[in-house]
């Protein structure tokens, strides 16, 4: 959910639901052939639900009270399209709120909410009459948890996301929300002094929209990934790992692949 590119862009508009459906699985820019509905410039990659590799520009307040920790942010971009440049891409702002509750030292539960307009000025001239960039939001809700049982640590998160696109409508002509649900759960067990085992499972499920022919279909291709590994601290700053990862991507551009990896991590 933090890096996987969907096929929806902020700089181009799908002309209708069928246009969006035809580009399922084309999230990376190297695969994308272009929407027909409008927009200018190089489209770049599609939007992930949350782009963790780029910090947004804005202001954020952090605090704590009793067993609660909280943050409130006002930013130029959205979670899927952060903006760390000097200018803004529309006249709206995102509001993002996160609250964690820590009832015990071994347990944390939290929730998140964010809303803000995501479209870029590159598509402004292509919007329907009477519409503005600020009419089309990304809305995201999330819950997260962390728990410890002796030598076992488990963390997880579930996120519900929706975008609204001007020309994607249902059979009655009403705009359809482009929804997706993403999740991950990860466990790490300290098997012995210096050695640990870790497993992570995660996935994204995309909601259905009207296909233009009387039926419904997912607006992008679902994807799942499972990864497991063994690790050992050779020194306090050197970790050796052996990992196996399995990816299952659905759709016409889908694939199933499993591959191993060996890693040596050194900090200094």
135 CB-contact burial (10 Å; exposed 0-12 / middle 13-18 / buried 19+)? middle
pLDDT of residue 140: 98
Q: How confident is the model at residue 119 (pLDDT cuts 50, 70, 90)?
A: very high
Inter-residue contact 111 to 101 (CB < 8 Å): no
pLDDT of residue 23: 94
The pLDDT tens digits for 172-224 are 999 999 999 999 999 999 999 999 999 999 999 999 999 988 899 999 999 99
Which CATH number, 2.40.160.10, 2.40.30.10, 2.40.160.20, 1.10.10.10, labels domain 17-266?
Answer: 2.40.160.10
For the chain, give the mean pLDDT: 95
Over range 10-24, report the average pLDDT: 94
Residue 86, pLDDT above cutoff 80 = no
DSSP line for the chain: --S---S--SS-B-SSHHHHHTTTT--STTT----SSB--S---SPPPSS-TTSPPSEEEEEEEETTEEEEEEEESS-SSS---SSS-SSS--EEEEEEEEEEETTEEEEEEEEEEE---GGGGGGSPTT--GGG-EEEEEEEEEEEEETTEEEEEEEEEEEEEEEEEE-TTSPEEEEEEEEEEEEEEEEEETTEEEEEEEEEEEEPEEE-SSSSEEESS--EEEEEEEEEEEEETTEEEEEEEEEEEE-STT-EEEEEEEEEEEE--
Closest CA to 157 of 52, 27, 250: 52
pLDDT of residue 54: 87
User: The tokens 């202001």 sit on which residue?
Assistant: 59
Q: How confident is the model at residue 38 (pLDDT cuts 50, 70, 90)?
A: confident
Give the CB-side neighbour count of residue 243, counting CA atoms within 13 A.
14
pLDDT of residue 65: 97
241 CB-contact burial (10 Å; exposed 0-12 / middle 13-18 / buried 19+)? middle
Over range 58-86, report the average pLDDT: 94
Backbone φ and ψ for 193, nearest 5 degrees, come out as -55, 115
Residue ranges of the domains in the chain?
17-266
The pLDDT tens digits for 90-117 are 999 999 999 999 999 999 999 999 999 9
User: The tokens 């990860």 sit on which residue?
Assistant: 186
Which residues, other chains included, contact 55 with Cβ-Cβ below 8 Å and sequence gap of 6+? 82, 84
């Amino acid at each position: 959910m933090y890096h996987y590119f969907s096929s929806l862009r902020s700089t181009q508009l799908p002309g209708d639901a069928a246009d969006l459906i035809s580009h399922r699985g084309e999230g990376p820019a190297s695969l994308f052939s272009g929407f027909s509905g409008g927009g200018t410039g190089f489209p770049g990659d599609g939007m992930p639900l949350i782009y963790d590799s780029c910090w947004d520009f804005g202001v954020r307040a952090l605090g704590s009270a009793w067993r609660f920790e909280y943050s409130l942010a006002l930013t130029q971009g959205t979670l899927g399209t952060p903006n760390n440049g000097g200018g803004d891409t529309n006249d709206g702002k995102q509001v993002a709120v996160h609250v964690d509750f820590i009832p015990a030292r071994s347990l944390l539960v939290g929730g998140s909410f964010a809303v803000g307009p995501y479209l870029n000025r590159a598509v402004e001239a292509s919007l329907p009459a009477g519409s503005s960039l600020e009419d089309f939001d990304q809305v995201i809700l999330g819950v997260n948890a962390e728990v410890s049982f002796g030598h076992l640590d488990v963390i997880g998160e579930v996120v519900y996301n929706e975008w609204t696109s001007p020309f994607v409508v249902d059979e009655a002509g009403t705009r359809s929300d482009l929804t997706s649900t993403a999740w991950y759960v990860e466990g790490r067990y300290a098997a012995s002094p210096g050695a640990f085992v870790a497993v992570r499972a995660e996935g994204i499920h995309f909601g259905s929209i009207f296909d233009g022919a009387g039926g419904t279909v997912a607006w992008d291709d679902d994807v799942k990934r499972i990864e497991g590994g063994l690790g050992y601290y050779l020194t306090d700053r050197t970790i050796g790992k052996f990992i196996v990862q399995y990816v299952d991507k659905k759709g016409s551009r889908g694939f199933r692949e499993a591959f191993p990896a060996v890693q040596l991590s050194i900090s200094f």
